[in-house]
Chain A
Amino acid sequence: MTFRTRALMAGALGAVVPLVVFGFGLRQEAVRRLEEQYRARVDAISAGLRADLERRSESIKARLDALAGDLTSDERFRAGVLTGSGANQAYVLDYAGRAMRTAGLAMLQIQDDAGRIVSSGQFRNAFGRADTTLLRAIAAVAPAAAVVRAPTPTGALLVLARSDSTRIAGRVFYLVGGEALDAPALTALAGVPDVGVTLTAPAETLAVGDTAGSTGAIVARFALPSVAALAPGAATDTARVLVSHAPRELDVLRGAFDRWLAFALLAAVLAAVLLAALLAGGLTRPLTALAEQASAIELERLETSFPTERTDEIGALARILAAMTDRLRLGAERLREVERRATTGELARQVNHDVKNGLIPVRNVVRHLAEVARDDPASLPGVFAERHGTLERGLAYLEQLAANYARLTPQAARERLDLNALVREIATAAGAGHDDALIEVVEAAALPGVVADAIALRRVVENLVANALESLPRDGGRVTITTSVVGAGVRLTVRDTGRGMSRAELERAFEDFFTTKQRGTGLGLSVVRRLVADLGGTLRVETAPGHGSTFTVELPVAGPAPTPTGTGESA
């Protein structure tokens, strides 16, 4: 995760978390206070509604008392209930209806002492029907009013009812009357349109006002006695009044809070991201510039500078990098000087070594010819003819060597070479000067040609064979040169039965100028190492003191990958 990302996240979190905590805290507090206000309002409405119902109950009672008094003195009613026929009976049947309307009631029925309905206002033609259940139930809850579900011709009617009684001609008559508890009445009782009132009586529920949002509403409840009038077996039950205040304002407030909080959060996040981006950019831009400058530093290109006028940590870092670069530049100059000197000396030694290598077969041929001329002059022409090729190749080698050095920057040639032929040639040439040594060549059949520089490959083989012969003891030994196919390449193994190398000698065997021979240059193996590397091959050594050494070179058949700058070196 980048520094910029970390900065952005930290900035966003730093802005959002406090804002969220603050917003939700404020929201909860506002909601709590509003809920308290709602609760107080609902409780007040509920208490007012109960008080109103009680007042209505008392009002009903007062009207029933008055009606009972009038009934006692009504002669036609008296005659009607006593005779039970004629015009007075019609008067009795219609009496409750008239009295009910006059008294402003929604229900009034007059029942005799047997419970028989003598006159009914809300259901005129229910006369003659007996209903003692209603009387008993209302008497049971007296003096409280009861919610009665009174039937009418067109359906049931909820009534807040009370009862009274009077005595006529020695008979007791009961008056059951009340006010309607219908939607308008409940609405009037509630008094506030945004408050819902639900009256749940047995078998009927009546709701007015705003009861739609009852979920989560703040409610208050109280109970009223209830009677299902004229219902067979009816008994006192309970009607429940539920005052509910739908929390619409709370919902609106919550919604507004949530919207504003979301908006604030979004704005905070955007601001934090923008701010963090600016800050992170201020920090990372100079660091990135320093990193790009530092990444451009190479040993050959130390002109990079770190100018700064900053006094902060980034300025200090730039100055440290500048000082470090200055030290590197100084060290590189020293190194180049040492390298230049070392290269000059090595070149001289290389030339010496290569010339000597080129002269060895010439010298051997010349000595051989001298010996023949001295010992068998007659065969000299034949021997000369036989060794003439060696002389020519040696001289050609020297000429080529001279041409290469003349160019100073030798370009490796790429041609397909027969390693077996080269090995036979070098082994033959080497054997001429080492009569005590046995040189054995084991050639691989169908060895593919190797694409390589001919001189480089010859130098590799010659150096390895020369080293092997030189490592043999004076009384002779064996040098075995083996070629073989390895995958997509060829393998050259030069094994000797010489004295071998210790571990310490082996570790330094490829260093320049390291030699165990009294007259050696110490460049042979180091040159071999470089040439093998130039040819794209590998070189490994297996050796042990007293058990000889085995040098194994593996070269790709296709040759080294071409390089634009000529021969490179690799360890």
Chain B
Amino acid sequence: MVGVRAAGPSATHSSVMNRPRSFVCLAAGVLAACGGAGVPAPAPAPAPADPCVAGSSSRAGAADTLVVAAPGTVVPRDVPVPRSVAERFAFAQVYQTLVRVDCEGRIAPGLAERWQADRAARTWTFFLRPDATFADGLPVSAADVVVSWEARAVPGPWAGGRDAALEAIGPHALRVRLDEALDSVPARFADPVYAVVRAADAGGWPLGSGAFTLAGDGDSTLLIPVARPTWPRLRIVAMGDARDAVDHGAALVFTRDLGALSYARSRGGYTDLPLPWDTVYALAAPAGWSGTPRDAQLVEAVHVDARPATAPDWWGDLLACLPDSGAAPAGGAVRPTGVISYPMGDGVARDLAARLVALAPSGGTTRARDRDTMHEALGRGDGEAFVLALPRRTTDVCATAAGGLPFGWVLTPLVDVREHALVQDGAARWRVEADGALRFVMDADR
């Protein structure tokens, strides 16, 4: 049983609970555009002509290596779906999707140079670039796309069985039958989950068709240009304090730390590029939870660029994911324990949990949990509440937001947060995609 309710008169605060069904479903929020809503973020630098292109012409050549500081690590097992900022940057350089969606929501060619639909707008045919090759030089065929998706059991929007809905009809022609008619090419195919990947013959990093290929892993990942002799290399380094990366002259620094952004602004030489709102923090709590005050000042509680939460576009789809009433606990309603858990290492979730505890009439405590114990505790549903970080963009709503949510619980959005990219002036030019990924571009690629 699924329901969605409004947490207050403002549509920006909404909760999802799986009981009772009588709650009225709210419309999904609008995907935030680049720059987001009016929040106390650092003042961005003057926007370039193309709002989705940042930086300036690169002075770097083939002998140079540009340093990109990004939180998180880059590991092969995540390819091609990023789980960290560093992976989002790295995979964007290496793995291509059929189409791209820039920060303005504009659809652009990717691995496919063109596409067309039938009259019903349900069957779409993508024509791959004939010159598209994997990093080892082998051409990318339509069959490679089919194999790549099927190998990873990618959930698709196509109708019926995958064999009939997804078909390579030529060396570079791919036909997809959708389960509903769309007037335009689905932006969904820009999601990293639909990136085309091929396993390397010698093992190691999977091969992509992007401008770079991967080498190394862990704290220092190297992106080597493929068939682009004048391009510089990119080195992704793990970041402690973003201020240090700035001081060391990194070409690109990803950070959510308002203090680091302020430091970079005051230091000069960098342009602050707010990226799209990519994460919504939500409180998953038993139905008896006393709720979050409207004047909770949650945005002030965190140390990142945040805004009051707006429902992501998949919010209404949760109704179809939450467990049915048949899963009702035998012991009746769950009594909240006053403990709010949050993912270990997530400072935003920690601050939000502390704020909620501070404002709870009966007090409480916070508890950091690793991924496994978090999932286990959530599954128990014994009265503990959780602050969860949910992506604002996903192709699998049920797995992303509703997975493991106990029966009868309320999911209340708290704040939206986003990353910032500090772009070193004169180092390189970057294209900003809708998912917040930055892609290295040379002037000729614009």
Which residues on A are within 8 Å of B, measured CB to CB? 85-87, 89-90, 93-94, 123-129, 151, 153-155, 230
Contact = CB atoms under 8 A, between A and B. Distances in A.
Given A87-B40, A90-B258, A125 B358 contact: yes
A153 B258 contact: no
Contacts of B355: 125
B291 to A, nearest CB: 16
A128 B356 CA distance: 12
Q: Pick the 4 closest A-B CB pairs, nearest first.
A: A153-B354, A125-B355, A126-B358, A153-B366
Contacts of B363: 151, 230
Q: Which of A125, A126, A151, A155 has the most CB of B within 10 A?
A: A125
A120 B353 CA distance: 16
Given A153-B353, A154-B366, 20 more contacts: A86-B40, A87-B258, A90-B300, A124-B301, A124-B351, A124-B354, A125-B301, A125-B351, A125-B358, A126-B354, A126-B358, A127-B297, A128-B297, A129-B358, A129-B359, A151-B363, A153-B350, A153-B358, A153-B365, A154-B367
Contact of B354 (A87, A89, A123): A123
B262 interface: yes
Nearest to A126: B358
Contacts of A123: 354, 358
B44 to A, nearest CB: 15
Nearest to B352: A125
Contacts of B297: 127-128
A153 B300 contact: no
A90 B354 CA distance: 16
Contacts of A154: 365-367
B258 A125 contact: no
Contacts of A230: 363
Contacts of B300: 89-90, 93, 127
Nearest to A85: B40
13 contacts: A85-B40, A86-B40, A87-B40, A93-B300, A123-B354, A124-B301, A124-B354, A125-B301, A125-B357, A125-B358, A128-B359, A153-B353, A154-B365
Interface in B418-440: none
Contacts of A126: 354, 358
A154 B351 CA distance: 12
A217 to B, nearest CB: 33
A127 B262 CA distance: 23
A87 B42 CA distance: 9
Interface in B322-366: 350-351, 353-355, 357-359, 363, 365-366
Nearest to B367: A154
Nearest to B357: A153
Interface of B: 40, 258, 262, 297, 300-301, 303, 350-351, 353-355, 357-359, 363, 365-367
A129 B355 CA distance: 10
A123 B353 CA distance: 11
A518 B322 CA distance: 151
Contact of A155 (B262, B353, B365): B365
A43 to B, nearest CB: 39
B264 to A, nearest CB: 14
Nearest to B296: A128
A489 to B, nearest CB: 103
Contacts of A86: 40
B299 to A, nearest CB: 10
Nearest to A231: B363
A87 B367 CA distance: 28
B354 to A, nearest CB: 4
Nearest to A123: B358
B387 to A, nearest CB: 12
B228 to A, nearest CB: 42
B341 to A, nearest CB: 11
B437 to A, nearest CB: 28
Contacts of A125: 301, 351, 354-355, 357-358
A155 B366 CA distance: 8
A154 B339 CA distance: 9
A74 B300 CA distance: 20
A87 B39 CA distance: 11
A86 B262 CA distance: 13
A87 B303 CA distance: 11
Contacts of B262: 87
B54 to A, nearest CB: 23
B418 to A, nearest CB: 17
Contacts of A128: 297, 359
A87 B357 CA distance: 24
Nearest to A86: B40
A68 to B, nearest CB: 24
A128 B357 CA distance: 13
A86 B258 CA distance: 12
B385 to A, nearest CB: 13
A107 to B, nearest CB: 15
A127 B301 CA distance: 9
Nearest to B40: A86
A320 to B, nearest CB: 102
A155 B357 CA distance: 10
A536 B311 CA distance: 135
Q: Which of A90, A151, A155 has the most CB of B within 10 A?
A: A90
Contacts of A153: 350, 353-354, 357-358, 365-366
A117 to B, nearest CB: 9
Nearest to B302: A125
A89 B353 CA distance: 20
A87 B258 CA distance: 9
A85 B258 CA distance: 15
Nearest to A120: B358
A2 to B, nearest CB: 81
B395 to A, nearest CB: 34
A94 B351 CA distance: 12
A41 B189 CA distance: 79
A88 B367 CA distance: 29
A126 B364 CA distance: 12
Nearest to B361: A232
A294 to B, nearest CB: 98
Nearest to A117: B358
A155 B364 CA distance: 7
Contacts of B357: 125, 153
Q: Which of A128, A153, A155 has the most CB of B within 10 A?
A: A153
Contacts of A94: 303
Contacts of A124: 301, 351, 354
A94 B262 CA distance: 15
A371 to B, nearest CB: 144
B219 to A, nearest CB: 28
A553 B355 CA distance: 129
Contacts of A87: 40, 258, 262
A230 B358 CA distance: 10
Contacts of B365: 153-155
Contacts of A129: 358-359
A495 B272 CA distance: 162
